[in-house]
Structure formats: C-alpha cells, structure tokens
Chain A
Amino acid sequence: MDKSMKLKIGDIFVYLFILVLIGLSLLGLKTMGVDRSNTVVQIQLDGQVIDSFEVSQDGEIETREIRVDTGQGGYNIVRVTSQGIAVIDANCPDKLCVRSPIIKVPGQSIVCIPHKFVVRIIGENQGDNAVDDTAS
C-alpha cells in the first residue's frame, strides 16, 4: 500500500479536536438544553408590552394563569398550557377574546379590543431546516 494512503501523526490532532468539540457541545447541551426556537409570549396593553416570557415549543409546560388588570376594573385571564395559550375569562362586553381559539404557533394572537389587550406568540418558527439543506 502506498505510503501516502496512510494516516499521519498530525491526523491524531484532527480527531482529538473533533472529540473535544463533541465534548464541548454535549456539555453545552447538558447545561443549556436542546435548542428550541425562541418562542416568546408577549402580552400587550394599549400598545405597551406589559409582560413577556419564553416558552419551550415541544416540552411540557407548567400550566399557569395570568391575570391582567386592564384598568377601570377590567381584567383578562390568560392560561398557558402545553396545548397553547388561551384567554379563559374576561369582563369585556363582547367576550370575543374568550371565544378565540387556542394559539400555539408564532405569529398567532388573541385580541381583546375593548380592553386594548393583545396576547401574541413571537419567534422564528424554525424546524429541522435551520441549516439550509442546499448548503454544502
């Protein structure tokens, strides 16, 4: 076999480098968790962002309810679950926000016009194609 077909001493450094990179990545995965696209839930009142928090897209989420006082005795109650986000109660006159379907995909929102209240999901909806598959 031709001598140039064999691995050389420096190649060991390439493979060591790869092992180090894999180790560091696994460490990163362990400490910071699998990368889920940044999905942020934003609550707006009269155009102002009054609350925003991150939620994971595919993990289990602790169910919680957020009561938002919209001023002059008005309120909307937002429920966050693994299935999505919904407004479960409000004392606005039309109750359209309560009847809105559950939202879960970035870009969707629930609006309560009488209270000038908006819940929306923002963030890039990136799937497995984060690295473009035509790139090489």
Chain B
Amino acid sequence: MIKTRKITMLAIIISQALVLHYIEGFIPVLAPGAKLGLANIMTMVTLALFGFREAMIVVIIRSVLGSLLGGSVTGILYSLSGGILSGLIMSILYLNFPSYFSLMGISTAGAVFHNIGQLLTASWIFGTIGILYTYLPVLMLAAVVTGYFNGLVTRYILNYLQSKLEIKV
C-alpha cells in the first residue's frame, strides 16, 4: 500500500476506534468494569490489514486519546495495560496460528487479556491481589459474549473491505 494511503487509513481507523471507545461509555453494562470493548474491532481490523506494528500503534494512540476524552488520568494506565496486553496476545494468535483460531476466538482471547491487564494494574495500584480474583469471574463471562460479538463484526468488516475495496486480507 502507498505510504500516504496507509497513513490515511490508519488515521481513519484510529478515529473510528476513538468514537467506539467513547460511545461505549454511554452503553450501560451489567457488571462494574465490564465493557463491550468495541474499539477492539478496529484493533483486529488493523491487525488483518496491516500487521503487528500498526495494530499496536492504533491501540496505544486510541488508549491515550480515549482516556483523555473520558476525563480520567488514571484511566490511561488501565487502558494502556489492558490494550497492550490484549494487542500482543491477539497478534500472536492471529499472525502465528491463523488456521487454528477464528476471529471470534482471537477477539475473546483479546477481551480476556484486556481484563487481566487492567486488573493486574488495579491490583498493583491498590496493592492487593484480591481485586484480581474478585472481579475476574464475572468479567470472564462478559468477555465470552462481547468477544464473540466483536469477532463476528470484525469478520463482516473484513469481508466487506475485501469485496468492495479489493483489499487483500
């Protein structure tokens, strides 16, 4: 892909991820800390279209800017730790084992490790590992549902891009 086109695509993807990150704050969820993780869709799209480096760039910029939109500075820490860990795991699964994992499975794994990253950071900040096992069960159940949904959406987006824009995925 031409460099200018790549930069433009990444900019569009980051802005879309930011919007998703922002609006999901208005969608109520059952458990405290549980999120839909819609921005994860854009991470996976980047991973499929470009690769590891670009996906991590999207994650980091989205986390920092998204936390600034949300208004909380400690949010950056949680967002970054969850985002980077889940981005790493999803990259490993997607790039090294594409024939073994579906996008739904990869997205679920990403959601799981996003929660683990955040909870480890919270445990570190509050100085108690208790936070980890108190919040984990319900967040894991949420991750199964949201992970499957996000993976499916990513699949549809990639199929669409493949057929309409003739982008090879």
Interface residues, chain A, with chain B CB atoms under 8 Å away: 2, 4-11, 14-15, 17-18, 21-22, 24-26, 28-29, 32, 34-38, 124, 126, 128-136
Residues of B within 8 A of A37 (CB): 126, 128
A-B contact count (CB 8 A): 131
How far apart sit A37 and B123, CA to CA, in the bound complex (Å)?
11
CB pair B126–A14 under 8 Å, yes or no, is: no
How far apart sit A29 and B132, CA to CA, in the bound complex (Å)?
10
Residues of B within 8 A of A6 (CB): 102
Residues of A within 8 A of B103 (CB): 4
CB pair A9–B100 under 8 Å, yes or no, is: yes
**Is B47 in the interface zone, CB < 8 Å from A?**
no
How many B residues touch the partner, as a band? 35 or more
The residue on B at minimum CB distance from A32 is B130
Within 8 Å by CB of B75, from A5, A24, A34, A134, lies: A134
Within 8 Å by CB of A11, from B79, B101, B131, lies: B101
Chain B 59-75 near chain A by CB (<8 Å), digits 1 or 0: 00000001100111011
Residues of A within 8 A of B21 (CB): 136
Within 8 Å by CB of B32, from A7, A28, A131, A136, lies: A131
CB pair B102–A131 under 8 Å, yes or no, is: no
CB pair B131–A132 under 8 Å, yes or no, is: no
The residue on A at minimum CB distance from B159 is A2
Q: Which one of B1-9, B50-58, B134-142 contacts A?
A: B134-142
16 inter-chain pairs at a CB distance below 8 angstroms, sorted by A residue, are A4-B155, A5-B155, A7-B104, A8-B100, A18-B143, A25-B132, A25-B133, A29-B133, A29-B137, A34-B134, A37-B126, A38-B127, A126-B126, A129-B32, A130-B126, A132-B72
**Is B144 in the interface zone, CB < 8 Å from A?**
yes
